[in-house]
Amino acid sequence: MNFDFPTILTFAVGISGAIWAFDAALLAPRRRLAAARAAEGAGEGSAAPVTVSEPLLVEYARSFFPVLLAVLVLRSFLVEPFRIPSGSMMPTLFSGDFILVNKFTYGIRLPVINKKIIDLGDPQRGDVVVFRYPRDPSTDYIKRVVGLPGDRVSYYNKTVFINGTPAEQQYLGPYVGPLDDAEMQGAVRIQENLTGVEHQLLIRPQAFSVEGEFVVPEGSYFVMGDNRDNSNDSRYWGVVPDENLVGRAFLIWFHWGEWGRIGDTIH
């Protein structure tokens, strides 16, 4: 079962804020009036001030609301952390990488309903993007943008063609990874140039590849994993609509046991 944290967080902010506001507007004045009347009844000889305690629920709401609101604003409009669950973006990203995603690069969107309210820019070819999987929007995917709206993207013989022009590739040598990474044995490392954006990818020369030509419709993007023969991407299920975009991945902030990866930028 997927944990819909944004919805839960938004709900928590709304409930805690409503409780705090209701108390401040209606209940708190009554408590102060009751305390004043109790003080008058106690007489001038009473040494201790008379107070009416705040309900525990109100105290919790008043304490948690600012914190929850700050977290909601931060992860909805600025930066959100994600954990990479698979190796589909190797060698750029590895399973277990914790990354940060810029949430405002492609526009400001309202949480939960994901409606864009301020347009700040569009994905560029080569961007590493997080998006909601079109076939199951409750699941987040991460891939690299290969095709922009209107592009004709082809994939033949392990090579990407953009509008008929092949992406330049430079052989870098056999892939050398962890000893237990048996699935990637025999892979080779390639430097690819996506019309000016250079990055590395992995190819298994003997592995089967889905081939074909795809035309990217307006308002959508064609995405692929850098681990080309181990990636479930646009070659299999189609394009990513603009409304499914979450943001652009830009930094690896943690990886347990791989300390050298901490702080690496994603490009």
Annotated active-site residue 143? The verdict is yes
CA 186/CA 203 separation, integer angstroms: 9
The sign of the dihedral angle between the CA atoms of 4, 249, 246, 195 is negative
From 80, 70, 28, select the one nearest 249 (Cα to Cα).
Answer: 80
CA 172/CA 176 separation, integer angstroms: 11
Sequence-ordered list of residues with C-beta below 8 angstroms from that of 227, at least 6 positions apart, any chain: 87, 88, 89, 90, 91, 184, 201, 202
Contacts for 111-117: CB closer than 8 Å, 24+ residues apart: 111/6, 111/9, 111/10, 111/72, 111/76, 112/6, 112/7, 112/10, 114/243, 116/242, 116/243
CA 12/CA 85 separation, integer angstroms: 27
Catalytic residue among 88, 220, 231, 234: 88
Q: Which residue has the tokens 């750029």?
A: 92
Q: What is the side-by-side order of every strand in the sheet holding 197-203?
A: 168-174, 188-194, 197-203
Annotated active-site residue 88? The verdict is yes
Catalytic residue among 143, 220, 231, 234: 143
Overall size of the chain counted in residues: 267
For residue 248 the two structure tokens come to 């652009």
For residue 93 the two structure tokens come to 């990203």
Give the residue numbers marked as catalytic: 88, 143
